[in-house]
Amino acid sequence: MTTDPVRVLSTAPIGAEAGHEGIEACSVDNPASRVIRETLARVGDKWSMLVIGVLHDGPLRFTELQRKIDGISHRMLTQTVRSLERDGLVTRTSYPEIPPRVEYAATELGRSLSVPVIELARWAAAHHDDILAARDAFDDER
């Protein structure tokens, strides 16, 4: 069983005409496949990439982070930074001061994730009209 993420993606069957060579690589039991799916889910969720983007230029305290991300609740920001911290994309540093001070920062891994995400955002912006036209055509057929 392969754990190379590139191989996992490149051997994945594209359609019904594809052979069975990608079945093992795409298996739910394959750790690389699981990590890829989880990472793509993280990139696609509503808040994670906004947090990474805001932290890209430097550490912020929780309240500063919340102020910079319009519409995120305290609870959702807490869940998001914990998930990002667990994935190694954000660090949380507590300073032994009174009052207590906690800062969040994007890790090198987190900053490196912003590169392909920016490219994906550029792709979406470049194809914005095509996507909207496809949606309209789909909706008109319904």
Q: Tell me the per-residue pLDDT of 65-123, one tens digit each, with 9 for 90 and over.
A: 999 999 999 999 999 999 999 999 999 999 999 999 999 999 999 999 988 888 888 99
Q: pLDDT-based confidence at 130, cuts 50/70/90?
A: very high
Q: Which domains does the chain have, with CATH numbers?
A: 1-44 (no CATH), 46-141 (1.10.10.10)
8 A C-beta contact, residue 8 and residue 33 = yes
Is the pLDDT score of 31 beyond 60? Answer: yes
pLDDT for res 13: 45
Long-range contacts made by residues 122-130, C-beta under 8 angstroms, separation at least 24? none
pLDDT for res 72: 97
Is the pLDDT score of 5 beyond 50? Answer: no
Is the pLDDT score of 6 beyond 60? Answer: no
The model's pTM: 0.71
* Burial (CB count <10 Å: 0-12, 13-18, 19+), residue 128: exposed
